[in-house]
Amino acid sequence: MRDVAIIGSAQTKFGKLGKSNTELFCDASLAAMEDANVSQKDIEALFVGNVLGGFEEGQINIGGHLVGALHLGNIPATRFEGACCSGTVAFRDAFMWVASGFYDIVLVGGMERAMIMGTPFSTRTFAMANDCKYEGTTGITFPGVFAMVARRYSKIYDIPLDKLREKMAHVSMKNHKHGALNPHAQFYQKMGNLKVEDVLNSTVVCDPLTLMDCCPFSDGGAAVVLASADIARRYTDEPIYVLGVGQGSLGHMGAQADITKPASRVFSARSAFKQAGLGPKDVDVVEIHDCFTSAEIVASEAMGFFDWGKGADAVESGQTDIGGRPVINSSGGLMGKGHPIGATGVAQVHAIVEQLKGKAPNGNQVNPVPEIGMTDTLGGGFNTIAHTILGRSRR
């Protein structure tokens, strides 16, 4: 397989946007193509992550319509659905097509407009990513999943739940601080100075999770242009290289040995590290799927950044904020930046690209400029998980 580079990336503003899925994808894609200095004729294939377009707009089979809207001729387009991991699944597949030599330049992105559905219907449709037979019939939603994760974590590591909630609050405080500094974030210039009690005293969603332990529903789009590394510098002076990718799968939660240690995430992260020839200690900055505060903590452990049971202490002590290592969710993460589920994985990639180019928003840039970054994206109850590792230098 040959090396692959990101030659352009972009995202829309996240939040309640009032635009169609096609418009969101096109806005991000045109900006990414401009960043890459490519035109429509250079794009050989399109890969898109979108989860709920059929419910949001009554639109399926959207790939071809995106090709038409972007005036990309008759190139192939493929839509990917892996719940909230859809964008990263699309990215991984696009990477493999270019790495194989089949294509030289492709466009990959994602979009979602969940806000049009409202909270009750969004909650119901998101929950379809759980197992419909064993989990859906119990009425479980994702706040319920990660409330159980928090309770299990408290029990197995003998951390009183009240104390664990205080540690979890630091995830929300950190990520909202960075989201408030990110002009593309849903909560830009909002909630940048949260305190522990603000998180603990917000509305209970699913005990022990409060509203400030949860990421929002969002609209938004993100896109990147991938190219063979051999031609990348024809288009940009700052290619960012894809060093490794991983993907893992797992069945329903009742069949999982321990939901605080999802085997799918361990498998996927290790696959990405193996391909990159790197380990957790080599990573400077990470975008982790912080759909809930407990989610970021258990992900940081499963990826190997902290020992089991130590992730909560790490975030409370500031080890995952700028000045520590690894820096987690300097973009604001899902919690501060927003979570348009089809776009999230690609937006995470864009955030790492910005960091590795030294172009992250003022106050969020890690210095010195990081060499290695990583993304982690989760779909369902740990059913689909994927990772990317990016670097400033080729392998």
Catalytic residues: 84, 339
Residue 113's beta-bridge partner residues?
Answer: 219
| Separation of alpha carbons 242 and 393, rounded Å | 9
Other beta carbons within 10 Å of 71? 10
Distance between CA atoms of 196 and 392, rounded to whole angstroms? 36
Q: Which H or E run includes 36?
A: helix 21-36
CB-based contact 365:358 (threshold 8 Å): yes
> Backbone dihedral region of 95: left (phi > 0), alpha (psi from -120 to 50 degrees) or beta?
alpha
Q: Which two tokens stand for residue 103?
A: 């294509």
Which of 319, 301, 321, 302 has the alpha carbon at shortest distance from 311? 301
CB-neighbour burial class of residue 118 (10 A; exposed 0-12, middle 13-18, buried 19+): exposed
